[in-house]
Structure 1
Amino acid sequence: MEEKKKRVKDRIVSAAWELFYEKGYDATTVDDIIRLSDTSKGSFYYYFDGKDALLNTLSTVLDDLYLSLKEEMDPYMDSFEKLMFLNYRSHLFMERSIKVDLLASLYSTQLISKGVRSLLDQNREYYKLISSVMEEGQKRGEINRRKSVSELLKYYSLCERALVTDWCLNKGSYSLAEYSKEYMPIMMESFKGKQL
């Protein structure tokens, strides 16, 4: 039963974000979301108070992406390269799937939120995956051990958010993915381990 509920909620979230990208947030209605997700009005309102409540589901959408990227990664790839792969692919997804003005609005609501800031929730798949790659990298000597995984994770996520924030400030005038591909390795260079 819980799995069925999760599938319904996931369909609503997925449909909403597809519509937000295609039509824009303001032009998307609850009825549009219900129609595309092939759910009922009752199901929609069981999970969400309204369209605005879907804005906090960005972390869910991104976590689904990280689960699929985890499956794509070559387990023998260097851990530092895995981190750069995850960064590039997540920023490519944002660039292609989330309008820059909507992303900027989402980031700004996280700044003023008095409640839970979903993007900082350490239980997210994002944090679990990045932590596991860093732990693996430290064991292999590919990520240095001078800092703890939690310190490295904090810096890594800070760098990612900085790149996204700058992209939003510049109204998406350049490729987020390509810019990240060039500058994230430079920002993270000091965390490379000594190769054995």
Structure 2
Amino acid sequence: MPKKSARNTKGRIIAAAWKLFYEQGYDHTSIEDIIYESETSRGSFYHYFRGKDALLGTLSNVFDEQYAVLMETMNPDLSAMEKLMYLNHELFAMIEDRVSIDLLSRLLATQLLARGEKHLLDRSRLYFKLLRQTVVEGQKAEQLRQDMTANEIVKGYALWERALLYDWCLCEGDYSLVDYSDKMTPSFLKTYALSTEGHP
């Protein structure tokens, strides 16, 4: 029970912080604002985070929270390709609606400069677990090519998504991330599809 409570407290702080960052801007959000919004205490905040900057690395947690929701709502009868496109569309729609480009750019910059843990590459994240599960199921159902390992396909897919996010930030959001990804991702995923003849 204590572990669950701890996860809930940390999760509430992260969720509150990113909500305020989006609504008020990072620079105009104080630690006191986050504590108030999350209904936690100053002691709880500093137990998990050394300061506001430490929260920048938690955007991957926000993404994984979205994936937890999507796992519950996704139609299990979809093909592996349809599931991957659904996950991509829903995550990018959440990013466009709830994460400012400035903050996303900061996160991506910190990951480039980080010498230690790189949150976006953490294979223990729900993101990677769900992708791997989807790919393995797709290979077993003979929907995805089998001359590549599940890990290789997951790596390629994750790389594709990061590339789209980096480009969107570089272009300062002058196009719709969701619309562009909806148009281009199906073509990208075809490289992993098993053709009707049984060959990639």
User: Aligned equivalents of 2:29 and 2:194: distance in 1?
Assistant: 47
The secondary structure found in structure 1 opposite 2:15 is helix
Match of 1:51 in 2: 52
User: Aligned equivalents of 1:190 and 1:161: distance in 2?
Assistant: 18
Q: When the two structures are aligned, how many residues end up with a matched partner? A: 196
Output aligned runs, 1:103-118, within 5 Å. Answer: 103-118=104-119
The residue identity in structure 1 corresponding to 2:121 is: L
Match of 2:120 in 1: 119
Does structure 1 residue 66 correspond to structure 2 residue 67?
Answer: yes
User: Aligned equivalents of 2:68 and 2:195: distance in 1?
Assistant: 29
Output aligned runs, 1:1-196, within 5 Å. Answer: 1-195=2-196
- List gaps (5 residues or longer) in structure 2: none
CA contact (8 A) 2:79 2:138 kept: yes
CA contact (8 A) 1:30 1:51 kept: yes
User: Aligned equivalents of 2:4 and 2:103: distance in 1?
Assistant: 30
User: Aligned equivalents of 1:105 and 1:29: distance in 2?
Assistant: 18
The residue identity in structure 2 corresponding to 1:65 is: Q
How far off its partner does 1:144 sit? 1.1
The residue identity in structure 2 corresponding to 1:42 is: G
The residue identity in structure 1 corresponding to 2:192 is: F
CA contact (8 A) 2:56 2:106 kept: no
The secondary structure found in structure 1 opposite 2:147 is coil
CA contact (8 A) 1:141 1:194 kept: no
How far off its partner does 1:141 sit? 1.0
TM-align CA RMSD: 1.0
TM-score normalized by structure 1? 0.97
User: Aligned equivalents of 2:55 and 2:135: distance in 1?
Assistant: 31
The residue identity in structure 2 corresponding to 1:159 is: W
How far off its partner does 1:173 sit? 1.2
Q: CA-to-partner distance for each residue in 1:143-168, whole Å, 9 max, x for gaps?
A: 11121111101110010001111110
User: Aligned equivalents of 2:83 and 2:121: distance in 1?
Assistant: 21
How far off its partner does 1:194 sit? 2.8
TM-score normalized by structure 2? 0.95
**Farther off after superposition, 180-189 or 113-122:** 180-189
User: Aligned equivalents of 2:151 and 2:5: distance in 1?
Assistant: 34
Identity of matched residues, %: 44
Q: CA-to-partner distance for each residue in 1:1-48, whole Å, 9 max, x for gaps?
A: 111111111110000000010011111100000010111111111111
CA contact (8 A) 2:49 2:55 kept: yes
